[in-house]
């Protein structure tokens, strides 16, 4: 049986992509999970509109962008040198795997090396100039851009719309099927046994409060989202953390199934050239593909601890190389993925770490914001 490196190297030559699917379950065994919540979403979760029976066909449990961040964290923890560009700022060192915009991030933009800002250094100029027909500099200095995508959008001053854009080559999501929104009850028991409902307290802007003592104070506006910055105002005991308090909010769903599904586009990777021979291009694409495979496998293996009440495990994981009229299953273990990735790194040399220093303006901006 071919090893994983050989299997993936063959796939990057002519396959359309690599698919991964997994059946997930809550560690607790419950059907109740907590998807991410959004204040402006109709049901607080990203989901299709529930039908007459209150059931939604689909609910997002982890988005592609969120899963990409989890993969970046695993690649960072692997400590294999995928993030040579680093910035020392505010007493800590951050790498491109920790920056939202990767090689195009404002933190790196506002850092210096040998008296030059990043974009004016030789490294910066090479990274900015990288393109699909010669992506060698991006490969050496920040391969995560080629895998997760990037856009040179953090320039300041006179801007044009010609900043390089790299579409993501990997996308993994987790969703729930047949979801029903449930309410979560919250209750605080006051040891003083006070009720928390009556709006008979006046709150002042300095944080002090007193009981309503006059008819004029009884007519003060009650606290609400519309007048949250108006003082003095009437509030309930529960709003100053006294009294019993009950809340019922739509939060969480009951689901029939939880699925992980992802794609690593080999077609997209084949659009990139790396300034060498055809074999060099294949080796580079193999490295990028294995970065994606390792990242996905590491996230799954580490346990999908997405958030409170959403701790998941994979019951079944299926990998396949896919193309037109083609689907070839293959096995992936985390140990095999790391071994293959380390071999790929022995073939493709990335840059050694380079440490930039944040400029004074960035350091002062951080200090003032704390």
- Report how many helices (DSSP H) and strands (DSSP E) the chain contains, helices first: 11, 19
In the structure, what pLDDT confidence band is assigned to residue 186 with cuts at 50, 70 and 90?
low
Q: What is the pTM of this model?
A: 0.84
SS3 (DSSP) at 296: helix
Helix-helix angle 334-347:4-14, to 10 degrees: 70
Asked whether the predicted pLDDT for residue 138 surpasses 70, the reply is: yes
Under 8 Å between Cβ of 38 and 46: yes
- Name the β-bridge partners of 225: none
Under 8 Å between Cβ of 87 and 94: yes
| pLDDT at residue 38, rounded to an integer | 87
* Rounded distance between C-alpha atoms, residue 270 and residue 207, angstroms: 61
* Rounded distance between C-alpha atoms, residue 11 and residue 320, angstroms: 10
Asked whether the predicted pLDDT for residue 200 surpasses 90, the reply is: no
| pLDDT at residue 70, rounded to an integer | 97
Nearest to 209 by CA among 242, 164, 180: 242
| pLDDT at residue 213, rounded to an integer | 86
Under 8 Å between Cβ of 291 and 143: yes
In the structure, what pLDDT confidence band is assigned to residue 241 with cuts at 50, 70 and 90?
confident
Average pLDDT for residues 199-210, to the nearest whole number?
Answer: 85
* Rounded distance between C-alpha atoms, residue 117 and residue 361, angstroms: 12
Q: To which H or E segment does residue 318 belong?
A: strand 310-323
Q: What is the pLDDT of residues 114-131, one digit of tens each?
A: 999 999 999 999 999 999
The angle at the Cα of 327, spanning 321 to 330, to the nearest 5 degrees, equals 50
Q: What is the pLDDT of residues 92-121, one digit of tens each?
A: 999 999 999 999 999 999 999 999 999 999
């Amino acid at each position: 049986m071919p090893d994983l490196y050989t299997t993936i190297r063959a796939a990057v030559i002519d396959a359309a992509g690599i698919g991964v699917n997994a059946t997930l379950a809550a560690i607790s065994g419950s059907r109740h999970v907590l998807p991410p919540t959004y204040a402006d979403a109709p049901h607080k979760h990203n989901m299709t509109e529930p039908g007459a029976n209150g059931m939604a066909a689909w609910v997002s449990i982890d988005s592609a962008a969120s899963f990409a961040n989890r993969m970046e964290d695993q690649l960072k923890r692997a400590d294999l040198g995928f993030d040579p560009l680093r910035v020392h700022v505010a007493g800590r060192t951050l790498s491109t795997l920790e920056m939202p915009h990767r090689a195009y991030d404002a933190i790196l933009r506002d850092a210096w090396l040998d008296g030059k800002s990043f974009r004016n250094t030789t490294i910066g100029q090479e990274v900015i100039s990288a393109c699909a027909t010669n992506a060698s500099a991006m490969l050496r200095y920040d391969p995560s851009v080629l895998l997760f995508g990037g856009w040179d959008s953090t320039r300041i001053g006179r801007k044009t719309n010609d900043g390089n854009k790299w579409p993501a080559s990997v996308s993994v999501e987790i969703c729930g099927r047949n979801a029903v929104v449930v309410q979560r009850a919250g209750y605080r028991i006051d040891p003083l046994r006070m009720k928390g409902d009556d709006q008979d307290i006046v709150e002042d802007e300095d944080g002090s409060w007193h009981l309503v003592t006059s008819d004029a104070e009884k007519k003060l506006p009650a606290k609400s989202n519309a007048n949250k910055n108006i003082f003095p105002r009437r509030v309930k005991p529960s709003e100053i953390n006294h009294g019993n308090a009950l809340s019922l909010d739509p939060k969480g769903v009951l689901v029939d199934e939880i699925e992980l599904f992802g794609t690593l586009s080999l077609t997209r990777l084949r659009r990139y050239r790396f300034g060498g021979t055809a074999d060099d291009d294949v080796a580079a694409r193999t490295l990028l593909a294995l970065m994606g495979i390792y990242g996905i496998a590491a996230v799954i293996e580490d346990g999908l601890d997405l958030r409170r009440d959403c701790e998941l495990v994979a019951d079944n994981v299926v990998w396949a190389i896919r193309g037109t009229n083609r689907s070839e299953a293959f096995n992936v273990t985390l140990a095999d993925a790391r071994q293959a990735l380390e071999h790929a790194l022995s073939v493709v040399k990335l840059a050694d770490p380079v440490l930039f220093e944040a400029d004074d303006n960035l350091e002062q901006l951080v200090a003032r914001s704390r």
